Amino acid sequence: MSRKKPDELRSARWFAPDDLRSFGHRSRMLQMGYDYADWEGKPVIAIINTWSDLNQCHVHFKQRVEDVKRGVLQAGGLPVELPALSLSESAVKPTTMLYRNMLAMETEEQIRCHPVDGVVLMGGCDKTTPGLIMGAVSAGLPAIFMPAGPMLRGNWRGKTLGSGSDGWKHWDERRAGIVTEAQWREMEKGIARSYGHCMTMGTASTMTAIAEALGLTLPGASSIPAADANHHRMAAECGRRIVEMVWEDLVPSRILTAEAFDNANTVAMALGCSTNAIIHMIAMARRAGISLGLDDLDRKSRVIPVIANVRPVGDTYLMEDFFYAGGLPALMKELGDRLNLDCLTVNGRPLGENIAGAENFNRDVIRPLTDPVYHEGSLAVLRGNLAPDGAVIKPAACDPRFHEHEGPAYVFDSYPALKEKLDDESWDIPPDAVLVLRNAGPQGGPGMPEWGMIPMPKALLKKGHRDMVRLSDARMSGTSYGACILHVAPEAFVGGPLALLRNGDRVRLSVSKRRLDMLIDDDELARRRAAWTPPAPRYERGYGWMYSRHILQADKGCDFDFLETGFGAPVDEPVI
């Protein structure tokens, strides 16, 4: 393999020439206390750190970055930390999804504008993983992803608590009067016991696993709990490895092939992935210039069963158990030749070689293909007159009697209006109702908030009902469950057919036929369409204004149109 020479380093364009510009660059490095030996002939490694005082999932990054730097130095590189937008899934409102593309833009431009040769991406909390990867793909320099790692299992009175999922579950019980306020407080203290991202198979665990399946992390990296000493060592190894990747010119485009995305798709289904992963996978693929759409995901879902017995699709285990069972390499070993084993990964070896020695230490946590948690994959893509461009449901996470369902629509145009009604104990809503929330999509939400797992109406909870069909153009948390139809495209706010649905209309769902329809004839729909008026714009200025003009619909990954690979000519390297 040909290796880059020191004078071919990108950073040398800033530091090496004998001219006035480079005099400025060098004198300013010296100002910071660096000496010539720190950078001459050495790869400069950007560490994009998504730490903040308000990001619970990345709180260890402030120290963990020192492990990465140690690795970079050991391998003969110069580490430089570049902080980036830290998207805390719990703190950022109205939703982190509004800002995923902002992080992607920041990542791309930070890499492009600085004198750096390679990148370590530190992320993990939901949107940070796709945001960082999308940006790094577009920037095109060698990049390695360092996953934050899941937090430790939650614990309450000796019972395991899972992020998100158990909060939802016990909240329904609290609203039904089963859980007391004191117990609720105890759970609050027990559900998130360490730094690290959510430890259910939510969006964070799904997305970091997808990063690993794509070949963008070191083998096994995504499953290591944040609080485990293995995580420090993995971080340092990321630092050592990225320096070598620069010499090898191992850029993302050599890793992110159609086969690599096919692997990510396979692994996502086998994990019982978060529905959010669909949007992010499509967006990342489109950045890499690979065609991946909802139908590819649905096709995969039909042939790959869920084999990770991790909540919320599984009923018992969490990411810590998954790690002890052998982690993602063990799961990929079970998938065997369903994966493209020749795909190159960041350690310079093919995936097949990386997982050859993997072992499954607990076949109840990581099931063999012959004894899956769920016979099909995690997702089903529905189409019909309510969702011409698709909608998504997670059949494995809902009561199977709802897989084929017909019922009357109860329609809400805003989340506050819906929320108020949900607590009305005298609400006369039948259990076969289809509860609809619209204007909650990419433009309408705005940012497609995680409102799609609409809480059960109190009136139905009191009667013992725990699930019902819910329908929206929103997303839902990856830790959610229930008969929730999500991501309806096009969304109501831009005039998708969901905007035309009225109270009492019959809605029919068929998971087996992959259909979602309102039983209204075409003439009536045409009349309603003619009468429809678009809502007032959400933003008149600022980032939201730009967002509203450029955001793509869910089936296309919700990227900005101008960030997509096919948009315009490639951006030149900066003039120095």
Least CB distance to Mg ion at residue 170 (A):
17
Cβ closest to Mg ion, residue 202 vs residue 220? 202
Convert residues 78-107 into a mask of x (bound to Mg ion by CB under 5 A) and - (unbound): -----------x------------------
Indicate the angle between helix axes 203-214 and 128-139, nearest 10 degrees: 30
**How do strand 387-393 and strand 380-384 relate by DSSP bridges?**
antiparallel
Taking the complex as a whole, how short is the minimal distance between the CB of residue 51 and Mg ion, in angstroms? 19
The DSSP secondary structure of 132-163, one letter per residue, reads HHHHHHHH-S-EEEEE--BPPPEEETTEEE-T
Considering beta carbons, is residue 354 or 472 the nearer one to Mg ion?
A: 472
Q: Identify which of 172, 403, 340, 140 has the alpha carbon closest to the alpha carbon of residue 254.
A: 140
**Helices (H), ranges, 40-113:** 61-74, 100-113
How many CB atoms neighbour CB 13 within 10 A? 17
Contact of residue 183 among ligand FES, Mg ion, none (CB under 5-8 Å per partner type): none
Q: Which is nearer to Mg ion, 223 or 480 (CB)?
A: 480
Q: Is residue 138 near Mg ion by the rule CB under 5 A?
A: no
Whichever of 202 and 326 has its CB closer to Mg ion, that residue is: 202
For Mg ion, the closer CB: 202 or 455: 202
Shortest separation between residue 368's beta carbon and Mg ion, angstroms: 29
Residue 496 touches Mg ion, criterion: CB under 5 A = no
User: What residue 125 binds from Mg ion, ligand FES, none (CB within 5 to 8 A, per partner kind)?
Assistant: ligand FES
Q: Do 75 and 244 contact (CB within 8 A), yes or no? A: yes
From the list 329, 245, 248, 255, the residue with the least C-alpha distance to 285 is 255
Q: What's the min distance (Å) between Cβ of 312 and ligand FES?
A: 13
Nearby residues of 249 by Cβ (< 8 Å), 6 or more positions away:
4, 142
Name the residue nearer to Mg ion (CB basis): 89 or 321: 89
Distance CA 194, CA 149 (A): 11
Residues numbered 102-131 forming contacts with Mg ion, rule: CB under 5 A: 126
The site map against Mg ion for 468-487 (x = CB under 5 A) is ---------x----------
- Output the CA torsion sign for 180, 185, 187, 188: positive
155 binds, among ligand FES, Mg ion, none (CB under 5 to 8 A by kind): none
Contacts of 266 (CB under 8 A, 6+ apart): 213, 300, 304, 335, 338, 339
Residues in contact with ligand FES by CB under 6 A are 57, 89-90, 125-126, 163, 197-198, 202, 204
Residues of span 325-384 touching Mg ion by CB under 5 A: none
Return the SS3 of 431: coil
Edge-to-edge strands of the sheet including 404-412? Answer: 387-393, 380-384, 515-518, 506-510, 404-412, 434-437, 469-472, 484-485
Query: At 133, phi and psi to the nearest 5?
Result: -70, -40
Q: Which is nearer to ligand FES, 163 or 439 (CB)?
A: 163
Stretch that binds Mg ion, among 103-111, 200-208, 249-257, 259-267 (CB under 5 A): 200-208
3-state secondary structure 456-520: CCHHHHHCCCCCCEEEECCCCCCCCCCCEEECCCCCHHHCCHHHHCCCCCEEEEECCCCEEEECC
**Least distance in angstroms from the C-beta of 504 to ligand FES:** 37
Helix (H) or strand (E) holding 244: helix 229-248
Least gap, CB of 48 to ligand FES (angstroms): 17
Least spacing, CB of residue 168 vs ligand FES, in Å: 13
Interface characters, 435-474, with Mg ion (x: CB under 5 A): ----------------------------------------
Q: Are 497 and 385 in contact (CB under 8 A)?
A: yes
CB of 487 to ligand FES, least distance (A): 19
Residue 57 contact among Mg ion, ligand FES, none, beta carbon within 5 to 8 Å by kind: ligand FES
With respect to ligand FES, which residue has the nearer C-beta, 25 or 197? 197
Q: How far is CA 65 from CA 47, 59, 87, 194, in A?
A: 8, 11, 17, 18
CB closer to Mg ion, 202 vs 446 = 202
For residues 59 and 325, which CB has a smaller minimum distance to ligand FES in the complex? 59
Q: How far apart are the C-alpha atoms of 409 and 427, rounded to whole Å?
A: 14
User: Could you say which of 55, 95, 110, 203 contacts Mg ion (CB under 5 A)?
Assistant: 203
Report the nearest approach of Mg ion to the CB of residue 96 (Å). Answer: 9
Contact (Cβ atoms closer than 8 angstroms) between residue 123 and residue 97: no
By a kind-dependent CB cut-off of 5 to 8 A, residue 90 interacts, out of ligand FES, Mg ion, none, with: ligand FES
- Positions that interact with Mg ion (CB under 5 A): 89, 126, 202-203, 477
